[in-house]
Amino acid sequence: MKITEITTQTFTYTSHTTRDSEGHTHPGPAHEARQTLLRIATDEGIEGYAFGVNPDVIRGIVAPMLLGEHPFYRERIWQKLKERQRLHLGTLSDRVLSAVDQALWDLAGRALGQPVYKLLGGFRDKVPAYASTMCGDDLPGGLDTPEAYAEFALACKARGYPAFKLHTWQPPMPGAPDVKRDIAACTAVRAAVGDEMPLMLDPFHYYSREEALYLGRALEELHYYWMEEPMDEHSIASYVWLTEQLALPMVGPETAEGKMYTRAEWIVRGASEISRGGVGDLGGITPLVKTAHLCESFGVRMEVHGGGAANLHVLCAMGIPGEYYERGLLHPFVDYEQPAPWLNALEDAMDDEGFVHVSQKPGLGQEINFDYINSHLVK
């Protein structure tokens, strides 16, 4: 089998979310947005798919490297792309590596008639989800006050989520960042849902050491389950300093560059109790699985960052927790139970007990709506 064609299709859809000046997602007025489908095709008629790529990068850098390769040589292809990043980091990001790697795993699953998680080595068919909120906002009735978070946590608990994670206020929201307001939101949520529900916090990412410690101590009092990224992750020393003083588990690194190598350094330095990574942060399914095995070898848990089919398949192939699937981002104004316009079904449908079930269809199992894509192409 040989890769014979690598193409992209950019199409429009109506989005109901916007990004603020720092890149955080919030509900917003309906507007036209764009998405891109990556398609890798072979001489045997088997294809693989992924979403979210820059067509110029695929055409200019990726396609010439992949044409003629056997699509099952995912490791060789990933290593080649990784080495090519050295002088092309401005365009060949880990997100690009991730999309290519996902499409190749999807292709392999379709070729072999198996879901990706079983090719990786299946461990389970469903994972409990936590409700992961959008960042705080100033929308009345949205996520604008501690009480609003408490109300939303109760709604998520009623929906069946076994756990709840707050993303609190970040700039440019008025008054953010504010450790005391974060603690007020965390306190209101704990009071609303009771003592048993696991709760997590992902606050502003550039607090000082002292602010992060103050916040962590408050979360210990509230019996929170973990905290993510309260400081710049480039300072491993700051996380060692914080972790030594808190019983509250720290989860990270999440956004720090460096794939599995960075996770290894954090483990060796004792910078967090629980490691972290997702297909988008690390550059695909291939390095996320390496990271899971790295963590297993050190007896360290790893929580998977972000949702989507590829992260779910890895979670279902991990023999260590990965305790939860991150479902979201959720907001009182957004209907998360509707699939994206380019999919015929949700890729992370959740049952009433709060379990997300992995698809048993070949590949990543995304039910792509090709009719929609073809009728909304950007010419």
How far apart are alpha carbons 193 and 144 in whole angstroms?
18
Q: In which order are the strands placed within the sheet that holds 47-51?
A: 3-19, 25-42, 47-51
Positions in 102-141 near Mg ion (CB under 5 A): none
228 binds Mg ion (CB under 5 A): yes
- The alpha helices in the chain, defined as continuous H runs, are 55-57, 63-66, 74-84, 94-112, 116-120, 146-159, 179-193, 209-221, 236-245, 259-269, 279-282, 285-298, 309-315, 370-375
Q: How far is the CB of 228 from Mg ion (least distance, A)?
A: 4
71 versus 306: smaller Cβ distance to Mg ion: 306
Smallest distance from Mg ion to CB 201, Å: 10
Q: Taking the CB of residue 256, how many other CB atoms lie within 10 A of it?
A: 22
Of the candidates 12, 23, 103, 107, which has an alpha carbon nearest to the alpha carbon of residue 58? 103
182 vs 228 by CB, closer to Mg ion: 228
Write down the least CB distance from residue 229 to Mg ion, Å.
5
202 binds Mg ion (CB under 5 A): yes
Shortest distance, position 262 Cβ to Mg ion, whole Å? 15
Comparing CB distances to Mg ion, the nearer of 22 and 43 is 22
Find the part of the chain contacting Mg ion (CB under 5 A) among 120-128, 201-209, 263-271, 319-327: 201-209
CB of 202 to Mg ion, least distance (A): 4
Segment contacting Mg ion by CB under 5 A, of 191-199, 246-254, 265-273, 280-288: 246-254
Residue with Cβ nearer Mg ion (166 or 350): 166
Interface size with Mg ion, residues (CB under 5 A): 3
**Closer of 167 and 376 to Mg ion (Cβ):** 167
Take residue 168 and report the two structure tokens written for it. Answer: 């609190």
Residues in the chain: 379
Q: Are the beta carbons of 38 and 10 closer than 8 angstroms? A: no
Residue 105: helix, strand or coil by DSSP?
helix
What letter represents residue 130's amino acid?
Y
Calpha distance 106→39 (Å, rounded): 10
Which stretch, 112-120, 138-146, 222-230, 284-292, contacts Mg ion (CB under 5 A)?
A: 222-230
347 binds Mg ion (CB under 5 A): no
Cβ closest to Mg ion, residue 146 vs residue 252 = 252
Residues binding Mg ion (CB under 5 A): 202, 228, 254
